[in-house]
Structure 1
Amino acid sequence: MITRDKIRNFCIIAHIDHGKSTLADRFIQKAKIVADRDFKDQMLDSMDIERERGITIKSQAVTLPFESEDGSMYELNLVDTPGHVDFTYEVSRAISSCEGALLLVDATQGVEAQTLSNLYLAFDHGLEIIPVINKIDLPGADIPGTLKQIEKDLGLDPEDAVQVSAKMGIGIEDLLEAIVQKIPAPQGDSGQPLKALVFDSHYDPFRGVIVHIRVFEGQLKEGQTVSFYFSDAEYDVEEAGRFRVGFERTGVLEAGEVGYFLAGIKNISDIRVGDTVTGSKHRCDAPLPGFREVKPVVYSSIYPVDSNDYEELTKSLEKLKLNDASLIYEKDASVALGFGFKCGFLGMLHLEVVQERLEREFGLSIVLTAPSVRYRVITKNDETLFVESPQEMPEPGTIETSYEPYIKAVIITPTDYLGNLMNLCVEKRGIQTELVYLTEVRVEITYEMPLAEVMFDFYDRLKSLSRGYASFDYEMLDYRATELVKLDILLNGKIVDALSQLVFRHSAAPRARAICKKLRDEIPKHQFKIPIQGAIGSTIIARETITALRKDVTAKCYGGDISRKRKLLEKQKEGKKRMKMVGNVELPQSAFLSVLKTSEE
Structure 2
Amino acid sequence: MYAETVRNVAIIAHVDHGKTTLVDQLLYQSGMFREGELDKLAGGEYGLIMDSNPIERERGITILSKNCAIQYIDADSSVYKINIVDTPGHADFGGEVERVLKMTDGVLLVVDAFEGPMPQTRFVLGKALQHGLKPILVVNKADRLDSRPDDVVNEVFDLFVDLGADDEALDFPVLFASAKEGWATKDLAKPNDNLKPVYDAIIRSVPAPKVDPDRPLQMLVTTLEYSDYVGRVAIGKVFAGRLTQAQPVTVIDKDGRHTQQKVVQLYEFERLGKKPSLTAQAGDICAVAGLDPVDIGDTIACPDEPSALPIVAIDEPTMSMTFHVNNGPFAGKEGKYVTSLNLRDRLYKELQTNVALRVQPGGNADAYIVSGRGLMHLGILLENMRREGYEVCVGKPEVIIKMVNGFRQEPIERLVIECPAECQSAVMSLIGNRRSEMLKMDSKRGVSDYVHMEFMIPSRGLFGLNARILTATQGRAVMHHTFERYEPMRGSIPQRQAGVMIATETGIVTAYALDALYDRGVFFVKPGDEVYEGQVVGEHCKDNDIPVNATKAKQLTNIRTSSKDDAARVRPPRLMSLEVCLEYIQQDELVEVCPKSIRVRKRLLKETDRRRAARRTG
TM-score (norm 2): 0.73
- Tell me the amino acid that sits aligned with residue 218 of structure 2: K
Contact 1:413 1:471 in 2 (8 A): no
Residues 438-487 of structure 1: per-residue CA shift (max 9 Å, x gap): 8585876443322112134437836984735454333132231635xxxx
Contact 2:264 2:291 in 1 (8 A): yes
Equivalent residue number for residue 252 of structure 1: 279
The SS at the match of 1:65 is: strand
Q: How far 1:418 sits from its partner (Å)?
A: 4.5
Ranges in structure 2 where 5+ consecutive residues have no aligned partner = 162-168, 185-194, 504-520, 538-542, 561-589, 603-618
Q: How far 1:73 sits from its partner (Å)?
A: 0.3
Contact 2:218 2:241 in 1 (8 A): yes
Matches within 5 A, 1:549-560: 549=551
Closer, same or farther: CA 86–587 of 1 in aligned 2, 3 Å = closer
Equivalent residue number for residue 209 of structure 1: 232
Q: What is the alpha-carbon distance in structure 2 between the residues aligned to residue 463 and residue 550 of structure 1?
A: 32
Equivalent residue number for residue 98 of structure 1: 104
Segment of structure 1 superposing worse, 432-441 or 210-219: 432-441
Closer, same or farther: CA 421–249 of 1 in aligned 2, 3 Å = farther
Equivalent residue number for residue 485 of structure 2: 476
Contact 2:391 2:592 in 1 (8 A): no
Matches within 5 A, 1:65-80: 65-80=71-86
Q: How far 1:219 sits from its partner (Å)?
A: 1.5
- Tell me the amino acid that sits aligned with residue 196 of structure 1: M
The SS at the match of 2:399 is: coil
Equivalent residue number for residue 121 of structure 1: 127
The SS at the match of 2:36 is: helix
Q: What is the alpha-carbon distance in structure 2 between the residues aligned to residue 91 and residue 530 of structure 1?
A: 42
Residues 411-446 of structure 1: per-residue CA shift (max 9 Å, x gap): 163673644443332143323244467858587644
- Tell me the amino acid that sits aligned with residue 416 of structure 2: I
Matches within 5 A, 1:500-579: 504=493, 506-507=494-495, 510=497, 512-513=499-500, 542-547=544-549, 549=551
Q: What is the alpha-carbon distance in structure 2 between the residues aligned to residue 34 and residue 464 of structure 1?
A: 49
Matches within 5 A, 1:326-341: 326-332=356-362, 339-341=366-368
- Report the structure, 1 or 2, having the larger helix content: 1
The SS at the match of 1:370 is: coil
Equivalent residue number for residue 371 of structure 1: 397
The SS at the match of 1:507 is: coil
State the identity %. Answer: 23
Q: What is the alpha-carbon distance in structure 2 between the residues aligned to residue 95 and residue 515 of structure 1?
A: 49
Query: Of the candidates 313, 326, 330, which is equivalent to residue 343 of structure 2?
Result: 313
Closer, same or farther: CA 66–595 of 1 in aligned 2, 3 Å = farther
How many pairs does the alignment contain? Answer: 509
Q: How far 1:212 sits from its partner (Å)?
A: 1.0
1:165 paired to 2:173: no
Q: How far 1:309 sits from its partner (Å)?
A: 3.3
- Tell me the amino acid that sits aligned with residue 426 of structure 1: G
Matches within 5 A, 1:370-519: 370-375=396-401, 403=408, 405-411=410-416, 413=418, 416=421, 418-435=424-441, 439=445, 445-458=453-466, 461=469, 465=473, 467=476, 469-480=478-489, 482-483=491-492, 504=493, 506-507=494-495, 510=497, 512-513=499-500
Query: Of the candidates 134, 141, 145, which is equivalent to residue 140 of structure 2?
Result: 134
The SS at the match of 1:108 is: coil
Q: What is the alpha-carbon distance in structure 2 between the residues aligned to residue 97 and residue 78 of structure 1?
A: 10
Contact 1:531 1:545 in 2 (8 A): no
Q: What is the alpha-carbon distance in structure 2 between the residues aligned to residue 515 and residue 346 of structure 1?
A: 32
Query: Of the candidates 260, 267, 270, which is equivalent to residue 234 of structure 1?
Result: 260
Q: How far 1:310 sits from its partner (Å)?
A: 2.9
The SS at the match of 2:127 is: helix
Contact 2:266 2:276 in 1 (8 A): yes
- Tell me the amino acid that sits aligned with residue 28 of structure 1: L
Q: How far 1:44 sits from its partner (Å)?
A: 1.7
Q: What is the alpha-carbon distance in structure 2 between the residues aligned to residue 248 and residue 546 of structure 1?
A: 61
Residues 111-165 of structure 1: per-residue CA shift (max 9 Å, x gap): 2222122222211111111111111222222223323323344457688211111
Equivalent residue number for residue 174 of structure 1: 197
Residues 381-436 of structure 1: per-residue CA shift (max 9 Å, x gap): x9x8xxxxxxxxxxxxxxxxx95624142416367364444333214332324446
- Tell me the amino acid that sits aligned with residue 176 of structure 2: Q
Q: What is the alpha-carbon distance in structure 2 between the residues aligned to residue 87 and residue 514 of structure 1?
A: 35
Equivalent residue number for residue 379 of structure 2: 352
Query: Of the candidates 303, 310, 326, which is equivalent to residue 280 of structure 1?
Result: 303
The SS at the match of 1:234 is: strand
Residues 94-116 of structure 1: per-residue CA shift (max 9 Å, x gap): 22211101111111222222212
Q: What is the alpha-carbon distance in structure 2 between the residues aligned to residue 109 and residue 138 of structure 1?
A: 11
Q: What is the alpha-carbon distance in structure 2 between the residues aligned to residue 222 and residue 507 of structure 1?
A: 59
- Tell me the amino acid that sits aligned with residue 229 of structure 1: D
Query: Of the candidates 311, 316, 321, which is equivalent to residue 299 of structure 1?
Result: 321
Closer, same or farther: CA 149–427 of 1 in aligned 2, 3 Å = same
- Tell me the amino acid that sits aligned with residue 314 of structure 2: R
Q: What is the alpha-carbon distance in structure 1 between the residues aligned to residue 467 and residue 531 of structure 2?
A: 34
Contact 1:99 1:183 in 2 (8 A): yes
Matches within 5 A, 1:22-41: 22-39=21-38, 40=42, 41=47
Contact 1:151 1:158 in 2 (8 A): no
Ranges in structure 1 where 5+ consecutive residues have no aligned partner = 385-401, 484-503, 534-540, 559-585, 597-601
TM-score (norm 1): 0.75
The SS at the match of 1:233 is: strand
Q: What is the alpha-carbon distance in structure 2 between the residues aligned to residue 408 and residue 351 of structure 1?
A: 17
Contact 1:298 1:373 in 2 (8 A): yes
